[in-house]
Structure 1
Amino acid sequence: MDEETVFKHLRAMPDNEWVRQIHSCKISDPLQHPWGRSYRLVEWTMKHTPESSRRVVPAESTPLEIAQAVVSHVPGRRFCQQSDE
């Protein structure tokens, strides 16, 4: 999957102020569950946030569908390790 094509779709979306803050985006090769459909893991980071966000999409998703999934993502719980200081 070509991450640059996904970025092209992200930049063309109407709410691209938020999209401009995306620092990196990685899309995995298709992964197969032993019990169901294959999927891809999409992971992206924002410029000023150290944590990454992840989303699973069907393996047959087009770059436009992946871009739409990234934009429609709603952050869930954050799991951070506590510092011992």
Structure 2
Amino acid sequence: MVEDTVFEHLRAMPGNEWVSQIHSCKVSDPLQHPWGRSYRLVEWTMKHTPESSRRVVPAESTPLEIAQAVVSHVPGRRFCQDGNE
């Protein structure tokens, strides 16, 4: 599966200690808009954080390119699903 290969690449990247804190990583099948190019949605969670992070990558991205996108991610807005709202 793509997720397993992405995890292997993440673990092999030197100098990224926080990568060991990734709890889960999901990569969607390629999605196609009626316009523009197709993409994949990458979503990952950290071990001690309830929020998930998401990033869109081109559908033709390799597992290594997806792992590099996860590592280079800059957090933006956070959305929590805690059920209190």
Q: Does the residue aligned with 1:15 lie in a helix, a strand or coil? A: coil
Give the CA RMSD over aligned residues.
1.7
Shift >3 Å, 4+ stretches = 79-84
Q: How does 1:62-73 map to 2 (within 5 A)?
A: 62-73=62-73
The code of the aligned residue for 2:18 comes to: W
For residue 34 of structure 1, give the secondary structure of its aligned residue in structure 2. Answer: coil
Ranges in structure 2 where 5+ consecutive residues have no aligned partner = none
TM value normalised by structure 2? 0.90
Aligned to 2:12: 12
The one-letter code of the counterpart of 2:13 is: M
TM-score by length of 1: 0.90
Moved more, 74-83 or 32-41: 74-83
User: Match for 1:66: what amino acid?
Assistant: I
Residue aligning to 1:46: 46
Corresponding residue for residue 55 of structure 1: 55
2:27 corresponds in structure 1 to 27
Identify if the C-alpha distance between structure 1 residues 81 and 46 changes in structure 2 by more than 3 Å, giving closer, same or farther. closer
* Native 8 Å contact 2:51 2:79 kept in 1: no
Deviation per residue, 1:28-62 (Å, 9 max, x gap): 00000111000000000000000100000000000
**% same residue:** 89
Structure 1: runs of 5+ lacking an equivalent: none
Output the CA distance in 1 between the equivalents of 2:26 and 2:36. 23
Cα distance, 1:81 vs. partner? 6.8
